[in-house]
Amino acid sequence: MVSALLRNLAAQTGANQHRYVITLNVPELVELEVPAALPDVVVIRNAAPAGFGENHNAAFRHCQTLWFLVLNPDLKFHDPLTLCGLLAEATDDRDGVLAPVIVDERGCLSDAVRSNLTPWSLALRVLKIRSGRRMSSTLSNSSQFFWFSGMCLVINAAAFRAIGGFDERYFLYCEDYDLCARLYLAGYRLRPVSSVRVEHRAQRDSHRKPRWLYWHVKSLIRVWLSAVVWRIWLTQWQNK
């Protein structure tokens, strides 16, 4: 998937102007294919698997730019101007994080923009997925808190640095919620980019693999016991 994403990125307009930091979290049986069109590639090979947040914090230390992108390997850019379109929006230092519209392989909207992470919001999402109902990435009220799923994020480097980056206590799942919540509470905007679409082929490992389900539940419990979620709930209550 990483090699396929790199080939996809190499076809993007202006792709050779950026640095790409790739983390190989576990040993791979196949050789990583880096296109010659991407001249500045840093490969991090972990001696032991690390969590999502820890890996991206380590990758961020190789970035010297004002903005950086977090990209899952299971993404696909159909338009060669996708990368340009995303970066063209990253100009306002009041923005903490931007995210494109996410669609699945059928072109249907995914629920990549989500309301506050509560037990009832999670239950509703599970019911929608199991019933086969379409998930929406649109916002009904942009003044309320929402958060972006972390498969494709454009992050303000100064804001990321100011709040201490990802919380590495989250091994997997919910670190994207925590990051968005802390940026929001620090006064930064969370802005959807409706003009750009990216395809995401969701793996949904927590739906069928016990270890991933364990990580998901553990992270949810950490969120619901954290001061961050209570501050978000209090902010929402005050804004009603």
Q: How do the domains of the chain map onto residue ranges?
A: 64-238
CA distance 5 to 149: 19
- Residue 221 burial (CB count, 10 A): 11
Give rounded-to-5 percent helix, strand, coil for the chain.
Answer: 35, 20, 40
Per the CB < 8 A criterion, the answer to whether 125 and 174 are in contact is no
Taking only the tens of pLDDT, the chain with its 240 residues reads 999 999 999 999 999 999 999 999 998 878 899 999 999 999 999 999 999 999 999 999 999 999 999 999 999 999 999 999 999 999 999 999 999 999 999 999 988 999 888 877 776 766 665 544 444 444 444 457 899 999 999 999 999 999 999 999 999 999 999 999 999 999 999 999 999 999 998 765 555 678 888 989 999 999 999 999 989 988 887 877
DSSP sequence for 30-99: S-----TT---EEEEE-SS---HHHHHHHHHTT--SSEEEEE-TTEE--STTHHHHHHHHTT-TTEEEEE
* Separation in Å, CA 209 to CA 116, 119, 187, 215: 26, 21, 37, 10
Q: Which of these, 46, 54, 44, lies nearest to 21 by C-alpha position?
A: 44
Structure tokens of 210? Answer: 């016990």
* Separation in Å, CA 40 to CA 43, 45, 85, 117: 10, 16, 21, 37
**Type of residue found at 176:** D
* Residues whose CB is less than 8 angstroms from the CB of residue 204 and which lie 6 or more positions away in sequence, other chains included: none
CA distance 93 to 228: 23
